[in-house]
Structure 1
Amino acid sequence: MTSPAPTVLVFLDPAFENGRIADSSQPQLMATDLGATRGDGVFESLLAVQGRPRKVQAHLNRLGSSAAALDLALPGQDVWRRAIETAINEFRDVHPAPTPEEDEVVVKLIVTRGVEGAASPTCWVQASPSPAGSRRQRQTGIDVVLLDRGFDTEAGERAPWLLLGAKTLSYAVNMAALRYAHKQGADDAIFTSTDGRVLEGPTSTVLLAHLETVDDGDGSVRTVRRLITPQLDSGILPGTSQGALFAAAKAAGWELGYGPLEPQDLFDADAVWLISSIRLIAPVNHINGKEVGTSEVRKQLTAELNHLFAGIE
């Protein structure tokens, strides 16, 4: 039997300015909480590296957007920031990393509607170790399969109650997709829409790159690097990591693009990645069993993007 990962819980409690540390080995949530019984809530996951949380503002902004979509009122961002700091410090004090390279803490911000009729939502911060598998896949890359998400790219606009752009606790479909991918011998999946567009991964954003040699007309040539992601208005979750990486890539001279993308665009790319806040930049080696680009180019471009991403706070 696998032991549960060490966890620190910090509840946002008005009586505790920096959050209330709770015993993770004891029950803390009412069995009738609507987050548990209906998945009625929102969350964010961010990574703290050597004690420093990354992209906090972007995650707090997206948490607020998701909560607004569910008509949930949140505590102020400063309250969240203090609770995040408490959780990270407590985790690193109680569960110190064996090496600096392993000093990564997964920090989740969780909001539920609470029990039926509750005056305010239940909010807490959860800190746990970064999965070794995520760190490994950054290096080795992943194989993915394409899976039909079951809706078209206009579904979110046509039916906003589907909450397609919100990061809700209702992740059963996403987890089912990952289990299906694993049964097919793959590590992950990329969703496509019923109208043939590339969407996102179950827990990640899709990126692809093209290298193009351009003749400047004066006898010199240069290599243009172009980074592309699916359209944000196609019913996908706006990626905080994608947004931060795009800003860094633009500053470094990369050209940027937003879909629409079709599956063939993935196969035609020089490199494809799934990017997320915890696993970071995972190069895609194969899609549906077919290699993407070449190993040499994947490694080269992944190294370049990792260098850019390392400077993101």
Structure 2
Amino acid sequence: MNRIVAVLGRGLVPADTPLLRADDLGAVRGDGVFETMHVRAGAPWLLDEHLARMINSADRLDLDLPPVTDMIELARQACSAWPHTEEGALRLVCTRGPEDGGPPTVYATLAPVSPKLKTYRAGGVAVATLPLGVTTHARTPAPWLLGGVKSVSYAMNMACQRWAVRNGYDDALWLSTDGYALEAPTSTLLWQVGGELLTTPTSTGVLAGTTARFVLDRAGDVGLTAGEKLVTPSELLGSQGVWLASSVRGLVEITAIDGAALPTAAKTRSLQDLVSYPV
């Protein structure tokens, strides 16, 4: 299936249609926000939750996001041309627009989920821990660091993933300078200790994960309680399971951290059943 593109106020356009001016602040400064969500049965999953997070990100950047009804319609237009039998990745983007002023640039793209990402659901991922360069308490009192904001400034995120892949891993796991696991460049950390399913507190500046929140809110369905705490990589190695949750991959098991293998997690399949991604 080819990529689909929809532009706010214009509807569906050919995928090769030029969308940005050369001086668009999203391109030249990374000044904008986005959300990516899973498309199933022809509709975006957790759309309301993603839009709520996008609104928060835009507010943090003092960016004028169009009304929610317009964003919902944009998502609907993109999905209207997508086969109901195929899963996809829908991205909604809003940049600050031209450098000399003007309306924001708002559009949606919809593309297939890559086969490689699908394989992670069944086979899991090996991660390398990489220092993020901040303490667990640095970003909350410093809003200009944009902790918890999903901006289009993803060059560092992608650089971390590329480094991990070049060095024989599947993904990266960021660490604070005080030694705690935070999140992955494009996904949220989850782990099990006894009867608890845990995640990193958002007070550390990690992005609030929509897929992870869905799982945590339903932890009781698989016999677990949900909570938040700080965790070190060595503590993760002693847990009953470690996962990454993201909107496109779904829930994937971490099978190794810095080359140290983790035992197979008994809860992986039951947690994956909660989010209903194809495995």
Does residue 309 of structure 1 match 2:279?
no
Does residue 236 of structure 1 match 2:236?
no
Question: Please, what TM-score do these two structures have when normalized by structure 1?
Answer: 0.85
Map Cα deviations across residues 162-207 of structure 1 (whole Å, 9 max, x no partner): 1121000000110110011112100001100011111100000000
Deviation at 1:252, TM superposition (A): 4.6
Three-state SS of the structure 2 residue aligned to 1:156 is coil
In structure 1, distance between residues paired with 2:146 and 2:234? 28
Map Cα deviations across residues 251-291 of structure 1 (whole Å, 9 max, x no partner): 55411120111222211111101110000011011111111
Q: For the Cα contact (< 8 Å) 2:217–2:226, is it kept in 1?
A: no
Does residue 57 of structure 1 match 2:48?
yes
In structure 2, distance between residues paired with 1:55 and 1:254? 22
In structure 2, distance between residues paired with 1:199 and 1:303? 24
Q: Number of residue pairs matched?
A: 277
Q: For the Cα contact (< 8 Å) 1:175–1:202, is it kept in 2?
A: yes
Map Cα deviations across residues 223-259 of structure 1 (whole Å, 9 max, x no partner): xx31011111001101011111111113554111201
Three-state SS of the structure 2 residue aligned to 1:233 is helix
Match of 2:220 in 1: 250
Sequence identity, in percent?
Answer: 35
- Please identify the structure whose Cα radius of gyration is greater: 1
Deviation at 1:158, TM superposition (A): 3.1
- Give, as a single letter, the amino acid of the residue that structure 2 aligns with 1:76: P
Mapping of residues 30-109 of structure 1, within 5 Å: 30-92=21-83, 100=85, 103-109=86-92
From 114, 130, 133, the counterpart of 1:147: 130
Aligned-residue CA RMSD (Å): 1.6
- Give, as a single letter, the amino acid of the residue that structure 2 aligns with 1:282: V
In structure 2, distance between residues paired with 1:166 and 1:252? 30
Map Cα deviations across residues 27-63 of structure 1 (whole Å, 9 max, x no partner): 2211110101111101000011121211111100000
Match of 2:168 in 1: 185
In structure 2, distance between residues paired with 1:56 and 1:252? 24
- Give, as a single letter, the amino acid of the residue that structure 2 aligns with 1:10: A
Q: For the Cα contact (< 8 Å) 2:131–2:174, is it kept in 1?
A: yes
In structure 2, distance between residues paired with 1:255 and 1:286? 24
In structure 2, distance between residues paired with 1:305 and 1:235? 25
- Give, as a single letter, the amino acid of the residue that structure 2 aligns with 1:308: L
In structure 2, distance between residues paired with 1:27 and 1:159? 37
Q: For the Cα contact (< 8 Å) 1:91–1:128, is it kept in 2?
A: no
Map Cα deviations across residues 125-181 of structure 1 (whole Å, 9 max, x no partner): 111111111111100111001110011112212321111210000001101100111
In structure 1, distance between residues paired with 2:241 and 2:221? 20
Does residue 10 of structure 1 match 2:6?
yes
Question: Please, what TM-score do these two structures have when normalized by structure 2?
Answer: 0.95
Map Cα deviations across residues 43-93 of structure 1 (whole Å, 9 max, x no partner): 00001112121111110000000000100111111111111111012133x
Range moving further from structure 2, 264-273 or 63-72: 264-273
From 143, 153, 156, the counterpart of 1:160: 143
Task: Give the unaligned 5+ runs of structure 1.
Answer: 14-18, 212-224
In structure 2, distance between residues paired with 1:210 and 1:157? 27
Task: Give the unaligned 5+ runs of structure 2.
Answer: none
From 243, 247, 250, the counterpart of 1:277: 247
In structure 2, distance between residues paired with 1:307 and 1:179? 30
- Give, as a single letter, the amino acid of the residue that structure 1 aligns with 2:171: D
Q: For the Cα contact (< 8 Å) 1:248–1:309, is it kept in 2?
A: no
